[in-house]
Structure 1
Amino acid sequence: MTAFKVLFALLLTAATIDSQSFHGGKCPKPSVQEDFNVTKYMGTWYEIEKLPAVFERGTCNQATYSLQSDGTVKVHNAELLSDGTINSIEGVAKVKDPSQPAVLSVNFFKGVADSPYWVLSTDYQSYSLVYSCSDFFGVFNIDFAWILARTRTLTEDVIKQLHEKLTAAGVLAQDVYLPQPNETAYIAASYVKFLESAGARVVPVMINQTLEEYKTLFNSINGILYPGGGVSIVSSGYERAAKIFYELAIEANKRGDYFPVWGTCLGFEQLMYLTSKKTILAYTNTSGVALPLNFTNAEDSRMFKGFPAQLMKDLASEPLTVNSHKWSLGMLTYNTNEELKKFYKVLSVNTDGNVEFVSTVEAYDYPIYGTQWHPEKNAFEWTRPSIPHSPSAVKTTFYMAEFFVNEARKNFHKFETEEGESKALIYNYNPVYTGTKSAFEQTYFF
């Protein structure tokens, strides 16, 4: 008898330049406005264009700046949401170095690191070009750029000129680069080990493939996992591929073709966006912290019903789940969103002390699962002190992996030929040790 082979697709986390906000390497250092006058910059600016930013959910975005007596700048951002309400937030901006007044930092949340706010170019009266970039361990960076105006519109000629300034600064046209040539995407090796530990084999899903290529791959594999990462869940190669596989999975399951989908961290957030079709995440102070799970409906769930009673007790009382995210689905949002309430059953929640957020879900009618936390890290990552490695923590990794791989055993897709299967497997790539410079011990680059 031929052994049953479970083939999992693992979606690549990093995107090419199509994702716009994600790039390999450190942040560029574009030139900024010379002799910047912060007083002349005060007042209201309207957003004309932006690189996709998940923390902006509405339209008619505007920012009002007011100079305070201590020399800092009060920032008031507002946007119009789809339901007609106004969403706003206030923060404080300040000049870090008086010799570079156009290089500011802004903060909206106490206890959270400031975000860069660089004024690349402005005439104070009509337009402003703003740039922000954050480094992640020197391996990749995430950046945003805004074209602002004193009025709600700008002429096409002015917008074109500002695009050219961005291109010259190496922002919008910045090519993707990583330590070796042709490395435009990655998968943390811990996700591969996670699936392999339960008896599955892994196929990497390359971004920016055609719809037909994705359909062919879908019919060859037994499930898909959306890993964590740092790309846009609204506009990126990751989002496009995730959306295609999500829709294919829904269609397949409706006709009795059992196909499981799993999302971890960013993958969880991606699933919430795909289901609700809205950017509904809230900021939480949950980066680099292990938490116990506050179970809600876990006792009769598919996901946890096979877990030993002692492990369930430990999960509820010990900090065994690693959280490495800044954006979460608040319970208040879940409870007021009909699409999410109808689709997902909440199995556990957590809180950062201010916001109660959803941490584990499973779909009511589909084999679709999500964890805002990282089950794969406990057994396979050692780069951060927040990752627990106790016996119960490691058991959590393996029980989660066993559950999801067993879900995939219910699917009977396969490659048309053994040669095609062999060429698709992750074994064709070698992981690289990246533990000294990133959050991952090992990484596959593509």
Structure 2
Amino acid sequence: MEQKMKSGVELVALGLNHRTAPVEIREKFCLAPEVIKKGLEKLEIYEHLHEAVVLSTCNRSEIYAVVSRGCGNTVASFWAELNNTECDEDFFRQYTYRYEEEECVEHLLRVTASLDSLVIGEGQILSQVKHAYAIAQSANATGTLLNLLFNRAIATGKRVRTETRIAFNAVSVSYAAVELARAKLGDFANCRVLLFGAGKMAELTATHLASQGLKSLYVANRHLDRAVELANQYGGQAVEWPEVYGLLGSVDIVITSTGAPHYVIHKREIVHALDSRNGKPLVLIDIAVPRDVEPAVGELSGVCLYNIDDLKAVVDDNIQERQKEALVAEGIIQEEVEGLMDRFAYLSMQPIMAQLSDKAEFIRCREMKRAMRKLPDLSEEEYRVIEKMTHMIVRKMLRDPMRMVNKTAGTSRERILKFAIRKLFKLQEESIDE
């Protein structure tokens, strides 16, 4: 089913991700929140670009926009200027993807539900989408269309995680990094690991290392207090930044995940460290974007360097079970896409139909709670079946009114229909001359 909004604007998504671009390309489009906000605050200088949200993570860089119909190239211009990068047609053809209208809606919902992630079921993307949307709102860069789209996308992401087991036993990038290190060096009992960075990714990495019985953990961070906090949490030792390079001669594994915009480990430092290693191998796993380790380090004998793109094999080994749940999630996505496209089609009637949808959803949730109190022994699968059934009942009951609204939006019958709907369903009373 392909639908378009009945207005002079259209939805467009433009971006690149871990499937279309290697890390050396993605890192050029990794933007700090303050850079994104500053760019979105200047949105008004683009005549045909009305709304925008920019999503920038280690594995993707995307812009979702509302543009004047037929002016989609404005999105590419804004995106390139925001990233301070010149992009010709060959670049866009080779590394990027573009979605319009319904495809744009479906793509964002799949992203938010973690179906488009390197690790299907990972939990970080939902909060990243929320953060991207919050930045755009703070820059006054969103309006009716993107507010509706992102609120529904976030709700869909939560629904997928609630109604499926897609996140059950899901690996994370940090887990994959630890598994890769274990595959190279075996038992961690006699290993010494150095973590560069003390953020969320480093914390998750430390958790996985601890579960594997790690012998020694060192944590280095620009802000020593954060390194101390993380090291103490896992029985490790914090290292002041100027002293950290001295450890490269004695540790077995280095895992980096800083937010630095430049390399923090260079070839010269590893060359110096190799002199004191007596041929002992060194494994470096760089899961940061932009990368933390100079790529030339991988050319050195006795050194194994891996970046985030090298984790795919580990992820693939752990994906089979979640792919079954992904099929269930895809069904939820399609249902939500249809609902969103219906709502986009009658935006002029959106407020009253939102009232009706909200009332129906309130009643559905209330009756579900009442029913569940009487059925305490339901299995998780039985609950999911009933939950889905009630969603479908509400959706199908409202489908015909939605279609009628769609046909009358913008016509002489619109006001009369609004009045009738409010009377029939006891919604907020307003004048027929609203």
TM-score range, shorter chain: 0.3 to 0.5
What TM-score do the two structures reach when normalised by structure 2?
0.34
Higher strand share: 1
Higher helix share: 2
Bigger RCO (CA 8 Å, 6+ sep): 1
Q: Computing the radius of gyration over CA atoms, which structure comes out larger, 1 or 2?
A: 2
